[in-house]
């Protein structure tokens, strides 16, 4: 089955894609293109899925051990695969490069996958931005690191891929305080839910944080929770009581 990847005109003509779960080798609850080696899926199936993505993107995949941080890794050559001296994936949540031919990837299952490109400077980036990473500044850190490689914030285009929408992102009564204690204006991203709960607009919050850097940004408009045929979702897994969940991959190549 052919892989399905969502693209944005804002990132054209650089090669990129927010891959859905279609076209993969995994089965059962992971059915489709599960690219998460950290899942309990069969390793052979995940590696086959990742190989298909690498073939579609035209190069080997660079990734990191995502930990909901604001840390960024610079990929400075084709032999650098974002590993530490012991050969383990580096703990970070974003990658940037100005080296042609490199494929940067991020894994998500409700969090925001964000792809960046400065067409003038020839610099790209990819970030994993859940609520914690976005709050702690991973999006701004990605832009800053790109600027350090020669990009200009005003020339950077960023696209948020499939992520959980506000309608499906219910949070507890204490959750908004994490944001409002730092920036009271963030109240605009919360709406009232049932009882004392709220609904958080993660992609709108991400767009706000990116645009404040001077970059241009948009969201593809796809909700991971609402479309189980195309997307994996951690929150949907919790609500359905399934044992595990797949991870979507997003990629960009300079």
For each of the domains in the chain, give its residue range(s) and CATH number, in order of start: 5-162+227-253 (3.60.140.10)
pLDDT of 251: 98
Mean pLDDT of 35-62: 95
Residue 130 contacts residue 111 (beta carbons within 8 Å): yes
Count of alpha carbons within 13 angstroms of residue 115, beta-carbon side: 31
Alpha-carbon span 238 to 44, nearest angstrom: 25
Q: What is the pLDDT of residues 143-194, one digit of tens each?
A: 999 999 999 999 999 999 999 999 999 999 999 999 999 999 999 999 998 8
Confidence of residue 132 (pLDDT cuts 50, 70, 90): very high
Whether the pLDDT of residue 86 is over 80: the answer is no
Report residue 63 CA to chain centroid gap: 11
Whether the pLDDT of residue 87 is over 70: the answer is no
**In sequence order, what are the residues at sequence separation of 6 or more whose Cβ sits closer than 8 angstroms to the Cβ of residue 172?**
196, 197, 198
Report residue 20 CA to chain centroid gap: 12
Whether the pLDDT of residue 84 is over 80: the answer is no
């Amino acid at each position: 089955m052919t892989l399905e990847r969502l693209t944005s005109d804002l990132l054209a003509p650089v090669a990129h894609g927010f891959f859905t779960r279609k076209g993969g080798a995994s089965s059962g609850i992971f059915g489709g293109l599960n690219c998460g080696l950290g899942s309990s899926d069969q390793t052979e199936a995940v590696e086959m899925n990742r190989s298909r993505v690498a073939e579609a993107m035209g190069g080997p995949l660079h990734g990191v051990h995502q930990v909901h941080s604001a840390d960024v890794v610079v990929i400075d050559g084709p032999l650098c695969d974002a590993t530490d001296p012991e050969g383990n994936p580096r703990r970070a949540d974003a990658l940037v490069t100005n080296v042609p031919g490199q494929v940067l990837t991020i894994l998500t299952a409700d969090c925001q996958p964000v792809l960046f490109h400065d067409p003038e400077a020839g610099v790209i980036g990819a970030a994993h931005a859940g609520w914690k990473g976005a709050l702690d500044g991973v999006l701004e850190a990605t832009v800053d690191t790109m600027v350090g490689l020669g990009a200009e914030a005003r020339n950077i285009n960023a696209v948020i891929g499939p992520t959980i929408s506000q309608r499906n992102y219910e949070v507890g009564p204490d959750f908004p305080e994490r944001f409002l204690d730092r920036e009271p204006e963030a109240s605009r991203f919360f709406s009232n839910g049932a009882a004392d709960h709220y609904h958080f607009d993660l992609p709108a919050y991400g767009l706000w944080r990116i645009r404040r850097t001077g970059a241009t940004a948009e969201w593809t408009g796809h909700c991971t929770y609402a479309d189980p045929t195309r997307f994996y979702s951690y929150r949907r897994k919790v609500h359905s009581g399934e044992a595990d969940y797949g991870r979507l991959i997003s990629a960009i190549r300079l």
